[in-house]
Structure 1
């Protein structure tokens, strides 16, 4: 009997020890926010103020840069000061966009990621949604460790809206860029040609047609050849006068508060008729369907004489090289309904998501979150968008900020990319703070803001950058690959041959047979979820 009691005692003690061990292991695998494996923060972790840690900690940060941009941004003085002030050392892993797609696939398949992913060009929505186990939900970190971002989201609620995934959680951090325009590309015309031919700036599509016809027939570049190309490219901008302002190139627009697939609309059909008229009369480049970007660029930069009459560009100097002085930006062209439409966003093209992710490989997520939060102050943000104060930005005694001129021989935009993270990475510049920033109105971002005044009043809310579920991401590519290809093929055919009602009916019927309703439902469901997020 005593032996049986003793055995029961031993078994009880064993069970208690096993339970205690299990609870201890679960606690070790669960951080203060209850997400995946987290090691205790190193000694001297400070929940407020700087440094973030008393003893240096190293975090690995991965970002992707365009091929020619290099790693000079890491010498940004603000980043260097941040490392010193926080005691968080950064081991930068800078990948080239050239081979990133292949390397990204290998990295996601292996599940081995650095601590932090920086920049929306690194991982997109589908990469994140289809690999959620690799990324930490950040809601609790924002609440407990990121007062700057929390305040920014309260001031600009749209930042939280664009960052909320279909499961209601935030996995990636947003950005609000400073001094961004509302309009995207705008009409640009050769003013020298207009003056030579005694023509006024076109106001309507009929005016534009007559101007382009004169450009083709009257030798405005004066070289004795009929080499002028009135309009060189096919884009969404060309049909924007018909009320189609497709900012995100996904064939969706918002009309009367509803998401609309426009390639089967009457407005699109009328736009195709307009494009067909231009093509048949030789006012569209005859190689518009066959040339690549290199061929098109060569025409913009034609060394002997300017040959392009009209285009849509970010700024007049964006494409025309030594001929840039001949070109001016003009107001949007009025459409058949007498109204003007500009591709863009009336709320500003300044909000982005997926600018920073903390991976489940990160042992110290609280440190990573506090480090990321340092980017969400006004001064930090402008220095990570243009360059450091004292290098690119001058801080004036009256509390304003002035961008310095770039070195001789360097464009402003190229200089900003060399000196900063530029478009990528977390940042927040408040609307009030933007008023303290002074830009050169003759170049770079300052010039674009000046030109924006011509078109900003005519922008309409675009189909937003919605978020899809994993299941939707599985279905969408299969549908959009075939449907988008067919729409583009038929656009070319309609432009070349003209739009005949019977062919149009067959075109719409074919789209419906390819699963158009299913694709539109996926997009409109995502739109409804997006609009419903508080």
Structure 2
């Protein structure tokens, strides 16, 4: 039912990837160039950098002729020699280039398409193929250094247990994405049925019962679906929100922290009680059976049912997953988020997921000369400044974005508005000024929070504000004090294959068993002990040992 994080962090295919090969070059430079100064040019002209990059051709991206590419070349006296690949098949194409030994000075990747895993970086860093960036950052990357120091989790994600930084990943602080497992309920139906916001698991069940039996859409038919979701990502699984009223469910690894000790939640008595509650909802027809089998398209067909509104509540990071949000839509305004519900043990959690991808997307190889290393890190450092952020992620001033006008409000009410994107005209293609997803190296809360947004949260122009407020008001601060920081852990390459296999087997076992218990194919009273015993056969002990070792050796703050 889920994509596994270790597989995404370790495997050489799919969304995550590798590095290999060898050549001759040192990893650092001892020159006295000052941070922010122009890159040293060779005797024949600008510093030439060979770059392998993922290119979003579907969005009209042309990196060689992009305005931002030209800005970097002019500002830092460099010349990019691009090898670009479309998103489709990008990891495989990069692997082919590396296996042949014909790889570039620099990799620039879109992290959700392809990135270097932490295990890859350890392996190839030890081989000398990937260059550590520590000295380069200290000498030529003051803004990168400032960011690493300001965000400990981001620093831990990029710092190996040996203290070396073998590459840098993007830091996209999508605030609402950090709390993906939200619950959006039909507040119009709630008002019609005089239902208050549910606070407990019992309240939530009563609300779903009313949605099912009291004909809130008023068509005289028993066609309402009280609760639905899907099997894909983006917080659409129905179990985590419900389980969080009993025990913490991270919807990812099922691992939890207990005073610095790594453990699993899915074999605990509280997990059993959570399954009993969810089964009771399922048995009464309050959960759509399709929530455990359908994809996002099928989920949206329920939310956008043609004849009548039939969805009472939907699980998801945001409501656009299951309803249209464009102005003039039929149903979007009807759905509001609710806080986590409190279970019988006075437990109530929100699922937290760090807003960043494990692994790195900026990697210098040993093909890079000292001049290339310095030039590349200076260009990257610029992307960690406000001017660089706006240029790389948004584009040209007064073309792609404008300065605030009188009356403009920032997304975060506590911040001063800094910029407002200028939308494309109808039918207009991307202007190829920015680097789109390739350039989001620092999209922190300061940048996102200063975005100009309308104050009408149900307008599509203020959708980000709607999600920001839902997260701030209902989910932030409700996560456990300690969560298992899978995003910041570096697994020893010698244990990587074993960890990947164990993690896949264990999470699949948890997912499949949960579904069997909920639907009645397994009996919670008769089969629970055998289910718990089943973890022994999956070698849960070894898995937890590997995770504990990775946690203990990580640079992640243990406070």
* TM-score range normalised by the length of the shorter chain: 0.7 to 0.9
Matched, 1:123 2:115: yes
Per the alignment, do residues 56 and 451 of structure 1 end up closer, same or farther by CA in structure 2, a change over 3 Å counting? same
SS in 1 for 2:245: helix
**Could you say which structure has the higher helix fraction?**
1
Alignment equivalent of 1:448, drawn from 461, 467, 474? 467
Shift, 1:354, TM fit: 1.0
Alignment equivalent of 2:418, drawn from 365, 378, 401? 401
Larger displacement relative to structure 2 (349-358 or 459-468): 349-358
- Aligned partners of 1:291, 1:432: CA distance in 2, in Å? 37
Alignment equivalent of 1:62, drawn from 52, 71, 75? 52
Matched, 1:427 2:441: yes
- Aligned partners of 2:539, 2:76: CA distance in 1, in Å? 53
| Alpha-carbon displacement from aligned partner over 1:453-490 (angstroms, at most 9, x marks no partner) | 22212123431111111112121122223222222211
Match of 1:243 in 2: 247
Per the alignment, do residues 302 and 290 of structure 1 end up closer, same or farther by CA in structure 2, a change over 3 Å counting? same
TM-score normalised by L of structure 2: 0.78
- Aligned partners of 1:179, 1:330: CA distance in 2, in Å? 20
Whether the aligned pair in 2 keeps the contact of 1:244 and 1:267 (CA below 8 Å) is no
Match of 1:463 in 2: 484
Segments of 5+ residues of structure 1 without an aligned counterpart are 1-27, 36-40
Alignment equivalent of 1:354, drawn from 360, 363, 376? 360
Shift, 1:362, TM fit: 2.6
Per the alignment, do residues 377 and 219 of structure 1 end up closer, same or farther by CA in structure 2, a change over 3 Å counting? same
| Alpha-carbon displacement from aligned partner over 1:428-449 (angstroms, at most 9, x marks no partner) | 3677777755444532433322
- Aligned partners of 1:409, 1:255: CA distance in 2, in Å? 53
Match of 1:476 in 2: 499
Shift, 1:342, TM fit: 1.0
Matched, 1:159 2:154: yes
Higher Cα radius of gyration: 1
Shift, 1:395, TM fit: 3.1
- Aligned partners of 1:481, 1:168: CA distance in 2, in Å? 29
Match of 1:14 in 2: none
Match of 1:305 in 2: 308
SS in 1 for 2:315: strand
TM-score normalised by L of structure 1: 0.81
| Alpha-carbon displacement from aligned partner over 1:219-268 (angstroms, at most 9, x marks no partner) | 22233332222111344233222231416x12212344432211112222
- Aligned partners of 1:66, 1:115: CA distance in 2, in Å? 21
Match of 1:344 in 2: 352
Alignment equivalent of 2:528, drawn from 460, 484, 504? 504
Aligned pairs for 1:367-406 within 5 A: 367-396=375-404, 400-404=417-421, 406=423
Whether the aligned pair in 2 keeps the contact of 1:228 and 1:308 (CA below 8 Å) is yes
Per the alignment, do residues 291 and 517 of structure 1 end up closer, same or farther by CA in structure 2, a change over 3 Å counting? same
Segments of 5+ residues of structure 2 without an aligned counterpart are 1-22, 230-236, 407-415
| Alpha-carbon displacement from aligned partner over 1:410-438 (angstroms, at most 9, x marks no partner) | 9xxx98x9875456546336777777554
Whether the aligned pair in 1 keeps the contact of 2:130 and 2:364 (CA below 8 Å) is yes
Larger displacement relative to structure 2 (215-224 or 127-136): 127-136
- Aligned partners of 2:433, 2:212: CA distance in 1, in Å? 43
Alignment equivalent of 2:132, drawn from 130, 137, 143? 137
Larger displacement relative to structure 2 (180-189 or 520-529): 180-189
| Alpha-carbon displacement from aligned partner over 1:117-160 (angstroms, at most 9, x marks no partner) | 22333224144344434321212221222222123223334433
Alignment coverage as a number of residue pairs: 493
Q: RMSD of the TM alignment (CA)?
A: 3.4
Whether the aligned pair in 1 keeps the contact of 2:115 and 2:359 (CA below 8 Å) is no
Per the alignment, do residues 440 and 263 of structure 1 end up closer, same or farther by CA in structure 2, a change over 3 Å counting? same
SS in 2 for 1:151: helix
